[in-house]
């Protein structure tokens, strides 16, 4: 029976890979560079992640979990107010793009590097964006938006715009308008039904 890698080995490799992939792009980083920076033996690394694709998918999967943790914390402050929860998600993105070292959405960056829809990294990125769209649609429906799917798409476009613009023009450029734009769209689409994002 093959030995399973120790959890701390997997975590250490993933931590180093996450830093390198995010800073330089996935294609620019070889598995040997990850091995060298971790100081962990090659055989141990390959037991944890048999291929670079496995490592990339694990990184993206961890990033997906981070999204749900962050947005879960943001929305939990407004239980019972789904319109305000929608805005809280956009506010969490505003905070993310304003952080030091922000260089874009890892899912957008990776899907650009791996445009083949059959590639596991592209599939992971696509699944994440679809989940966000579903998340926004559910909340928009709970907020009794006039067209929940349309509001979700509008908010997703705002979020994507913030992710794309902040690395180029900074968090205080057009990305800083994202929350106000989102609040306006939420208000426009929910006030006729008695709910308003504020």
Q: Tokens for 1, please give them.
A: 């029976």
Asked whether 62 and 41 are in contact (CB, 8 A), the reply is no
Which 3-state string (H, E, C) describes 91-120? HHHHHHHCCCCCCCCHHHHHHHHCCCCCCH
DSSP 177: G
Lowest-pLDDT range of 2-6, 64-68, 75-79, 173-177:
2-6
How many Å apart are CA 154 and CA 93, to the nearest integer?
15
Residues 28-84 have pLDDT tens digits of 999 999 999 999 999 999 999 999 999 999 999 999 999 999 999 999 999 999 999
Residues 130-169 have pLDDT tens digits of 999 999 999 999 999 999 999 999 999 999 999 999 999 9
Place of tokens 């791996």: 114
Could you tell me the domains of the chain?
A: 1-50 (1.10.10.60), 57-193 (1.10.357.10)
Asked whether 155 and 184 are in contact (CB, 8 A), the reply is no
Asked whether 167 and 106 are in contact (CB, 8 A), the reply is no
What is the pTM assigned to this prediction? 0.89
Q: Tokens for 96, please give them.
A: 């993310």
């Amino acid at each position: 029976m093959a030995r399973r890698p120790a959890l701390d080995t997997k975590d250490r490799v993933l931590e180093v890979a996450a830093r390198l992939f995010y800073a330089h792009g996935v294609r620019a980083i070889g598995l040997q560079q990850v091995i060298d920076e971790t100081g962990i033996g090659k055989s141990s690394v390959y037991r944890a992640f048999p291929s670079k694709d496995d490592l990339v998918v694990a990184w993206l999967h961890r990033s997906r979990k981070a999204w749900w943790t962050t947005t879960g914390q943001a929305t939990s402050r407004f239980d019972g107010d789904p319109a305000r929860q929608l805005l809280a998600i956009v506010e969490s993105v505003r905070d993310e793009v304003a952080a030091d070292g922000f260089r874009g959405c890892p899912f957008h960056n990776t899907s650009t590097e791996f445009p083949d829809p059959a590639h596991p990294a592209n599939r992971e990125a696509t699944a994440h964006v679809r989940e966000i769209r579903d998340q926004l649609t559910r909340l928009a429906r709970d907020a009794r938006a006039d067209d929940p799917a349309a509001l979700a798409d509008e908010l997703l476009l705002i979020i994507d715009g913030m992710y794309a613009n902040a690395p180029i023009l900074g968090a205080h450029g057009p990305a800083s308008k994202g929350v106000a734009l989102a609040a306006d769209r939420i208000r426009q689409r929910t006030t006729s039904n008695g709910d308003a994002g504020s």
